[in-house]
Chain A
Amino acid sequence: MKDISLSIASPSAANPLQKMGAALTACAILCSIIAAFGVGKSHPLLFFFLITGLFISGGIFYSIPYFKAQAGIKNDGIMQNSLSSRGAIAWGIAILMTGFYIILYWFPYYLEGLIRTMDPLSMMLRGKASDQWFLYGAFYTLAVLIMGMRFIAKYKFSRYHIIRTISVMFFQLGFAFLLPAFLLKLNQPEFYFSYFWPLKYSYLFPNDLDYLIQSGNLGVFMVFWGLVMTFIATPILTYNFGKRWYCSWVCGCGALAETLGDPYRQNSDKSLKAWKIERWMVHSVLVFITLTTALLWLNSWKSGTILGDASGLFSQWYGFLIGSVFSGVIGTGFYPIMGSRVWCRFGCPMAAILGLFQRFKSKFRITTNGGQCISCGNCSTYCEMGIDVRAYAQKGENIIRASCVGCGVCSSVCPRGVLKLENLEEEGRFIPYIRHEDKK
């Protein structure tokens, strides 16, 4: 059968307020480009307020119709909109975002003008001039806050979504932006309390540990914090709540995916093939980073005699391939084409570990409510992790998958109230629903 949705007309013209919001956002991007070409250097404050002001007002205008509308699922027209269904606009945004990452990582001097617009803020927060990473952090945080507001408006009927979105906004702003800046101002190591090994892989590398320990009491606490979070807190929290406690409540990558990435969540690939590739890739990355870390320790223990520079090279390559190309360029730049969680699904070693716990040793599951599923497909379509939720629900099975980040959107979009994210006792979570009449 031909894809009949192609013959379906575009829905009635978008809301004028949303058009206005989109226009303001486009102006903000335009201003950023103008600033980058040098004007930002001569008028930093003007462009700082212009850019942030336009982004924020754009976000507000875009969200107003959601706040005003009747509460409920707001997915009308998603499959007919060029922005959300891999149309020309989506490709345009993907190219823009990918381009931004490439320039940011490898040609930051083209951003000089734009970086200078952040100087006033950077001086205030960190006591030193801005650089490309501060610019990136500021934009990133702004995106999480603005699109987080939009997400809250869209899902205003669900306290689960409101609370967890406020949580990711809080952790991004406080723990991933303000606190590290502040530490720098106090001449302390720039440390991110919301990232742990293996996502922030260097936090268990011998060099970083040495550096932290030598930087004083706070540095020692940071090492302690990192070890506790990786080896004690993570297993305990994941056992009790599933990987969601991190992936859709705390993590910055998750924060961007849940907010900026939300309009694209339906573009994740749900095929069995994609699932196979995912399992190979994400676990390979985990093996890679574990090996790298082990090698670095071995090497430092033998004072560099066994490997010489090889292990350093290994970690450099990891940083380039995984840290930059995968998590940034592909992971975020390809949102509009491959969905919002490409990195989290195929590349993140933290997600891989959390996933193993979640699958084999956790109280978390998405419960399927008896035989209520009508196989409509909304849940699978809107799962950003590409999980074919329906495949389980229509068999009366609970959904227990390593990759599920517990965003809860499948449960929200289900028109029959079939799905519930919950932490119950571990026993029996794999037992499917069987009709009383069919029990033998």
Chain B
Amino acid sequence: MNIVIIGNGITGITCARNIRKLDSNAFITVISEESEHFFSRTALMYIYMGHMKFEHTKPYEDWFWNKNRISLIRAYVKTLNSKDKTLHFDNGKSIAYDKLIIASGSIPNKFGWPGENLYGVQGLYSIQDLEQMERNTKNISSAVIVGGGLIGIEMAEMLHSRKIEVKMLIRENLYWSNILPREEAQLIGKHISAHGIDLRFNTELREIISDDQDRVKGVLTNTGEQFECQFVGLTAGVKPNIGFLEKHELETERGILINEYFETSIPDIYAAGDCAQFRNPKSGEPAVEQLWYTGKMQSETLARTICGDKSAYNRGIWFNSAKFFDLEYQTYGQVLPEINDQQKSFYWEHLNGKHAFRANYSNKDESILGFNFIGIRFRQAIAEDWIREHKTIDFVIQNLKKGWFDPEFSKAYYNDISHSYLQSLKGGNEE
């Protein structure tokens, strides 16, 4: 079997590795235009900040690919010919496949803002973006970031590490409030401000202003304010990177349309990771999953299907994690920005504003639905077990210690949390 994979990100590479584990005879080829070897996209910020070099972000040593007989080709796939099952590269060469896996990832969103193509204006997704950011931010003093998501805050931290003044334009009235409940959004917003980032809420980009050399010199907002800056980071989300399929009959919408087996509209072509879109997502689950974790889980399942054990994707209990400057955040299960009328929520926050805990649970049987932890590390396996087994909120609060994952000798807050929970029962001041 001749398997060709487009994309050497976490999705493509996990797929290749897992196929190799299950099938020692398959021919596996991975194609990418971005880099020779797989690296960790999530670590881009640390290269800029000087915590690591590019070398350190490669999860496998260079000999690994040869040893596992995974061929790597560095080229851009220009066209797909599904009739005679070939791919054509920009360098004129081509390759044939029996099975094709598309894991082409994302590109940053642009919304047609005036001036979005000026020098000094960019998103952050690829290693080339990072190199460009390096050039664009040389000897500058101030920057504006548009969009307050996870890549936005990473960009802010990066620039801040080079003593560049940062303003963030955020459409909502709180930080990341389309994901976080109010209290967490406030707490994290305060922490970011304490690091010297100027958060501008209820503010949208209207226009990017250029100097006479087509370089950015400032931005204009919907509130009529004008900020001077020499760099604009566009971090208003990402979208599937499927431009090279534009003229092809493969069905796409936002991303490449797939079913729960990652099958596209054409036989023997599969898609997974950031570039794929589920035709019929399960209720409460997004159609396009743009995460490291989901890329990994999707491709592990897909590898099984490719090797003959047809398996449907089950992402299991939702989890995610992030870090906002020094604040770590972990979430398990379902915690929406606002609870509905079948849910209750208990929230605890330390006086110092650096630690918080939230548990959402069902109105009816008090069973736990999801957690947010800020400045607290918690065991994933335990949180998931509790959610899966519908443990009650009382049980959860009493047993927090079991899942506590903070380093040894750290101050533990489970007693404070349980105390505050009992208090709230008495006072009845739950949300």
A417/B50 in contact, CB under 8 A: no
Of chain A, the residue at the smallest CB distance from B383 is: A370
Given contacts A1-B37, A4-B130, A159-B411, contact A369 B405 (CB under 8 A): yes
Q: A391–B60 Cα gap in the complex (Å)? A: 8
Given contacts A371-B296, A378-B43, contact A394 B134 (CB under 8 A): no
A376/B43 in contact, CB under 8 A: yes
From B228-236, B272-280, B313-321, B414-422, the one touching the partner chain is: B313-321
Residues of chain A in range 2-33 having any CB-CB distance to chain B below 8 Å: 3-5, 7-9, 11-12
B195/A415 in contact, CB under 8 A: no
A417/B330 in contact, CB under 8 A: yes
Given contacts A4-B47, A415-B328, contact A378 B52 (CB under 8 A): yes
B325/A72 in contact, CB under 8 A: yes
Which residues from chain B contact A72 at a C-beta distance below 8 Å?
325-326
A369/B54 in contact, CB under 8 A: no
Return the contact of A160 from the options B37, B292, B322, B410 (Cβ within 8 A).
B410
B131 at interface, CB cutoff 8 A: yes
Residues of chain B in range 13-61 having any CB-CB distance to chain A below 8 Å: 35-37, 40, 42-43, 46-59, 61
A71 at interface, CB cutoff 8 A: yes
Please report the number of residue pairs spanning A and B whose Cβ atoms sit closer than 8 angstroms.
166
Which residues from chain A contact B292 at a C-beta distance below 8 Å?
374-375
Of chain B, the residue at the smallest CB distance from A84 is: B50
Residues of B in contact with A, size category: 35 or more
Q: A376–B44 Cα gap in the complex (Å)? A: 8
B248 at interface, CB cutoff 8 A: no
B51/A75 in contact, CB under 8 A: yes
A75/B127 in contact, CB under 8 A: no
Given contacts A159-B410, A376-B57, A412-B407, contact A436 B384 (CB under 8 A): yes
Distance (Å) between the CB of A416 and the closest chain B CB?
5
1/0 contact string of A361-380 vs chain B (CB within 8 Å): 00000010111101111101
Judged by DSSP, the binding face of A is loop
Of chain A, the residue at the smallest CB distance from B42 is: A374
A75/B49 in contact, CB under 8 A: yes
Return the contact of A1 from the options B54, B300, B316 (Cβ within 8 A).
B54
Which among A73, A80, A374, A380 has the greatest number of chain B C-beta atoms within 10 A? Answer: A374
Q: A429–B148 Cα gap in the complex (Å)? A: 40
B297/A435 in contact, CB under 8 A: yes
A371/B380 in contact, CB under 8 A: yes
1/0 contact string of B324-359 vs chain A (CB within 8 Å): 011010100000000000000000000000000000
B52/A73 in contact, CB under 8 A: no
Which residues from chain B contact A305 at a C-beta distance below 8 Å?
none
B326/A380 in contact, CB under 8 A: no
Interface residues in A, total, Cβ within 8 A: 57
Given contacts A376-B42, A378-B46, contact A433 B53 (CB under 8 A): no
A377/B405 in contact, CB under 8 A: no
Which residues from chain A contact B113 at a C-beta distance below 8 Å?
none
B52/A417 in contact, CB under 8 A: no
B54/A5 in contact, CB under 8 A: yes
B409/A416 in contact, CB under 8 A: no
A372/B321 in contact, CB under 8 A: yes
B161 at interface, CB cutoff 8 A: yes
B426 at interface, CB cutoff 8 A: no
B125 at interface, CB cutoff 8 A: no
B379 at interface, CB cutoff 8 A: yes
**20 A-B interface contacts by CB (under 8 A):** A4-B54, A70-B194, A159-B410, A163-B409, A371-B293, A374-B40, A374-B42, A375-B292, A376-B40, A376-B42, A376-B52, A377-B56, A378-B46, A380-B56, A412-B407, A413-B51, A415-B328, A417-B321, A435-B297, A435-B316
In the A-B complex, the 5 residue pairs with the closest CB atoms: A370-B380, A72-B326, A417-B377, A376-B43, A5-B53
List 20 extra interface pairs beyond A76-B51, A159-B411, A421-B408, CB under 8 A: A1-B35, A3-B54, A7-B134, A11-B161, A160-B407, A160-B409, A370-B379, A370-B380, A372-B321, A376-B43, A376-B57, A377-B57, A377-B59, A378-B51, A390-B59, A411-B407, A416-B322, A420-B407, A421-B407, A437-B314
Interface residues of B (CB under 8 A from A): 10, 35-37, 40, 42-43, 46-59, 61, 127, 130-131, 134, 138, 161-163, 194-195, 292-293, 296-297, 300, 314-317, 319, 321-323, 325-326, 328, 330, 377, 379-381, 384, 388, 405-411
